[in-house]
Amino acid sequence: MTNVSDIIVIGGGIGGLATALSIYKNTGKTISVFEQAPEFGEVGAGIQLAPNALEALDYLGVKDEILKVAVQPKRLVLKDVYTAKEVATLDLGEDFQKEFGQPYVVLHRSDLHRVLFEACQKHEAIKFFNNQHIEKTEQKDGVVTITNQDGEQYTAEAVVGADGLKSKIRKNFVDDEPINSNYVAYRGTIPIKEVSADANLNMDDVIMWIGPNLHMVQYPVRRGELYNQVVVFKTYDATKEDWGNPEEMAKRFEGAHPMVENALTYINRQFRWPMFDRLPIDNWTEGNVTLIGDAAHPMLQYLAQGAVQALEDSYILGEQLKANDSYEEAFKKYQEIRIPRATMVQTSARNWGEIIHAEDKVIMMLRDAIFEKHQPKDFHRVDFLYGIFNKYKAEKLIKA
């Protein structure tokens, strides 16, 4: 049994690394990050970071590095997958940034992870352990013990579970399982030069093509050097072993606009990501153990808020550790602030998925009629997502 640090963070993804940075920034405590992969890195493709994410990254001191590799799009655009008609747009320019205090950016997930990892490496107080599948945690007399796949044990004063959708630490609080949405995603990036000859593509926008039970998202990443594409569709039969296969994708997108059909030819068909979430829970904390990110509130990707909510968690958790005298008090205050917020976003993501994937013609007509009335600079419709830190800072000033 080895005492490794003051705090252990289980999971070295975006949320885990951000949490390590936030804890160190606020407390100066030593932190050990335990990661199950052989090395620290991130898989996947593009990621969208709204102003609430940039506020957290600014707080952690890495915003400038993020902006070096990110792209700042001019608009978010919803398009009909069959007609290419613009259904709704949101202007992301100067007025948007003034409203929310931060820009909206897109980048490669691996770039975000790298920036956070390099920032952690600058601090001797943050250590890293790989090939660590943490199976359980136990608490006794103010000490938390974690046990890995080989039976090796490590101790610390507190543990933060950032071990994702399939979290083992979550089992301390609830006996639940991930829920299959019956949707699957294919995603990847290609060199921008392979698509730049297509005069119909607007490289300044984040485009979401929507249709019944499917959508596709496109935008440039890595300083505009790569083009990110994500194709999502609902399977006909999730009981099949190979459900959501490329052949089914082709059938689901039959009749799509030629621009969409052309984009599908670039999609990497080797890897598919079935889409899962879980139901919200009303407690993430017991004693000196708490959860963050997908371990606490895994959500569907439709609002592009999964990683963003983990960044929000890291911001608040660090502040509460600084403001409270004990881990238990800090963790309870953290979840008191975060659970209502994360639950709302989880639920909203599901609802948004139902809206953009509607297949009933009447519902689709009503949706599009509402979208058509939306003005590009009508920012109050997204304030519930992006304006959270404006409200948080205002509440802190009032209490002060």
pLDDT computed for residue 116 by the predictor: 98
- Which tens digits make up the pLDDT trace of 303-314? 999 999 999 999
Backbone angles phi, psi at 119, to 5 degrees: -65, -40
Separation between Cα atoms, residue 19 and residue 118, nearest integer Å: 14
Is residue 91 over pLDDT 90? yes
Is residue 400 over pLDDT 60? no
pLDDT computed for residue 388 by the predictor: 86
Token readout for 288 is 């000196």
H or E segment and range at residue 7: strand 7-10
**Per-residue pLDDT averaged across 71-100, rounded?**
96
Q: How confident is the model at residue 397 (pLDDT cuts 50, 70, 90)?
A: low
pLDDT computed for residue 199 by the predictor: 54
Level-2 CATH architecture, domain 2-177+277-399: 3-Layer(bba) Sandwich (3.50)
Q: How confident is the model at residue 239 (pLDDT cuts 50, 70, 90)?
A: confident
Considering the entire predicted model, what is its pTM? 0.95
Separation between Cα atoms, residue 59 and residue 79, nearest integer Å: 35
Sequence-distant (≥ 6) Cβ neighbours of residue 44 within 8 angstroms: 109, 110, 187
- Which tens digits make up the pLDDT trace of 99-115? 999 999 999 999 999 99
Is residue 393 over pLDDT 90? no
User: How far is the first Cα of the chain from the last one, in angstroms, to the nearest whole number?
Assistant: 43
Kindly list the domain boundaries of the chain, sorted by start residue.
Answer: 2-177+277-399
The vertex-141 CA angle with 139 and 142, nearest 5°, equals 70
pLDDT, averaged across the chain: 94
Token readout for 12 is 């070295």
Q: How confident is the model at residue 246 (pLDDT cuts 50, 70, 90)?
A: very high
| 138 neighbors 130 (Cβ within 8 angstroms) | no
- HEC profile of 364-396: HHHHHHHHHHCCCCCHHHHHHHHCHHHHHHHHH
Is residue 398 over pLDDT 80? no
